[in-house]
Amino acid sequence: MAVTVRLFAAARAAAGVSQLEVAAGSVQGILDSLVESHPALRQVLPQCSYLLDELALHDLGSQVNDDSTLDILPPFAGG
Amino acid sequence: MANVARVLVTTEVISVSDLAAAVRSNTAGAIVTFSGDVRDNDHGREVTSLEYEAHPSAQGLLEKVASEIAGRHDVLDVAVAHRHGPIPIGEAALIAAVSAKHRKAAFDACADLVDEVKAQIPIWKHQVFADGTDEWVNCA
């Protein structure tokens, strides 16, 4: 039982991994723990948007439960 | 409401002629296409290689954007393709094609489609420069 965090593009490059398992908690709490374990994320996260179980997330105070997936998306650069 | 003729997120080569053919019809008097190609320079620096990364939701979101464009312009058919993975310099990363009875609506819808793709689709661009440095675009 854990939360799956998926990191994309610049966030994956900064963390050095594409997927992590973390304990359930608030989005902000999870992000803080990620910065602690992967300090290079500190530069990238303020620019990112987030998906919680594939839905756009606007409140970093939201609770993330076990078995959920939190996606970390850097600024888009398609086209 | 216009028809969404084709939407594609793919690692394969994409072609303007394929997308133009997908929107062609005898009721259309205008076809506008856009090809966003990989160039060998960015902000005055030489780019040697480039790679796009797509989120798993990119295909579904691109379908949604194409439907929105089809719904808000007086056009006939809309098609759009985004390639990801490594793309050689000079090849297309994004192609949009729109047909309409008249050119103005086709130009407007095609430009709107490209703008919306850039703003809404979770795709990222990583480029490597001639001096060996690299960057994720828009993520300085």
Q: Show me where the domains of chain A are located.
A: 3-73
Backbone angle region of B75, left / alpha / beta, with phi > 0 → left and psi within -120 to 50 → alpha: beta
- pTM to 2 decimals? 0.95
Contact A76 B36 (CB under 8 A): no
Asked if pLDDT for residue B140 goes beyond 80, the answer is: no
Of the candidates B52, B94, B139, the beta carbon closest to that of A10 is on B139
pLDDT of residue A35: 97
- Taking the mean position of all CA atoms in its chain, how far away is CA A4? 9
State which CATH number among 3.10.20.30, 3.30.1450.10, 3.10.560.10, 2.60.260.20 fits the domain covering A3-73.
3.10.20.30
Please give the backbone phi and psi of residue A16, each rounded to the nearest 5 degrees, phi first. 80, 5
Q: Do B82 and A44 touch (CB under 8 A)?
A: no
Share of chain B above pLDDT 70, in %: 99
CATH of domain B3-133: 3.90.1170.40
Beta carbons of A54 and B57 less than 8 Å apart = yes
pLDDT reported for residue B1: 83
CA separation for the pair A10, B136 (Å, rounded): 6
Per-residue pLDDT at B51: 98
* CA proximity to A51, closest of A20, A17, A6: A6
